[in-house]
Amino acid sequence: MNLSAFNDAGADDLRPRLLALTESPAWADAVLAGRPYADDAALLEASDRLVTALPESEIDAALAGHPRIGERAAPALDADRAARSAREQSGMASADDALKRAMTEGNAAYEERFGRIYLVAAAGRSAEELLAILQERLDHDPTTELEVVREQLARITRLRLADLLEATR
């Protein structure tokens, strides 16, 4: 889909595609309301602004569409999303059992501390790097960590939106 098609698409057709990228109804509705966008960069920048301004409840809604790092999304629910998640988390594929166990334990500690899943832009990162980032973020206070989650969600959403647009990153 190019930008012209994005700008011209019916909201009823485009909204589900946006929600497949980030499950935040407020973000999807605001992206739709902002059309038409002058160019890909304007759309991506608008998305970044919108995601980082989401209230905490919408961040939590958006996280509902993300599996834990090291876990696979349920393909029965949405094969495209599951495949995308597997690509994004491909660094975990080579993790040995000890590293997978450490990630599972780290995920549990993170969820206990912050009340949400550990979200990180995982594309291009090794399993070791993903675990190190998780361990570092466990030291954050809740306010700082919420800002990091917003930034990571914006980054993931930008990459997914760029893919939807077939934009060059």
Whether residue 36 is preceded by a cis peptide bond, meaning omega within 30 degrees of 0, is yes
Mean pLDDT of 142-146: 97
Distance CA 29, CA 116 (A): 23
- Residue 47 dihedral angles phi and psi, to the nearest 5°: -60, -45
CATH (residue range 3-165): 1.10.3330.10
At 61 the pLDDT is 87
Encode pLDDT of 51-90 as tens digits.
999 999 999 988 987 888 877 655 545 666 656 565 666 6
At 169 the pLDDT is 36
Confidence of residue 167 (pLDDT cuts 50, 70, 90): very low
Q: The whole model's pTM is what?
A: 0.85
At 107 the pLDDT is 95
pLDDT at 41 over 90: yes
**Which CA distances in Å does 61 have to 2, 10, 99?**
27, 24, 29
pLDDT at 143 over 90: yes
Distance CA 144, CA 138 (A): 11
Q: With the C-alpha atoms ordered 6, 26, 123, 152, is the resulting torsion angle positive or negative?
A: positive
pLDDT at 155 over 70: yes
Single-letter residue type at 66: H
Burial class of 142 by CB neighbour count within 10 A (0 to 12, 13 to 18, 19+): exposed
